[in-house]
A and B are shown apart, each in its own frame.
Chain A
Amino acid sequence: MALVTTKFSPQGDFVARSAGMPDIPRVILPHPVAGTGEKAMKMVADDIADEVLQALGAG
Chain B
Amino acid sequence: MSRQLTAATEEAALEQLHNSGCTDGLPVVIPTPARVERMVLASGLDSDVSLGQLGPNLGEATVEKAAIAAVMAGCLPDYFPVVVAAVRAVSDPRLDMTEVQATTHNLGPLLIVNGPAVSACGIASGFGALGPGHRANASIGRAVRLAMINIGGGRPGTSDMALLGHPGKFTFCLGEDEEASPWPPLHTALGYDIDQSTVTVACTEGPHSVLCFPDDDPEVYADHLINVLAASLSGLGANNTHFGRGSQVLVLNPDHAVALADVGYDRATIAEALHERAKRSWSELSTVRSRGSGINRHQRSQGDNPDLVVQALSSPEALLILVAGGTGLYSTVMPSWGAGPHGNSHLTVEIDLDQTCEVPLVMPAR
Interface residues, chain A, with chain B CB atoms under 8 Å away:
7-8, 10-11, 14-15, 18-19, 35-38
Contact = CB atoms under 8 A, between A and B. Distances in A.
Contacts of A10: 157-158
Interface of B: 55-58, 98, 102, 153, 157-159, 161, 290-293
Q: Which 4 A-B pairs have the closest CB atoms?
A: A37-B292, A10-B158, A14-B159, A18-B57
A8 B161 contact: yes
Given A11-B102, A18-B56, A19-B58, A37 B159 contact: no
Given A15-B102, A18-B56, A35 B158 contact: no
Main SS of chain A's interface residues?
helix
A35 B56 contact: no
Contact of B158 (A14, A36, A37): A14
Contacts, number: 32
Given A8-B161, A10-B157, A10-B158, A38 B56 contact: no
Contacts of B290: 35, 37
Given A14-B158, A18-B153, A38-B292, 5 more contacts: A10-B157, A11-B158, A14-B153, A14-B159, A36-B292
Contact of A37 (B55, B56, B58, B291): B291
12 contacts: A7-B161, A11-B158, A11-B161, A14-B158, A14-B159, A15-B56, A18-B153, A35-B290, A35-B292, A37-B290, A37-B292, A38-B292
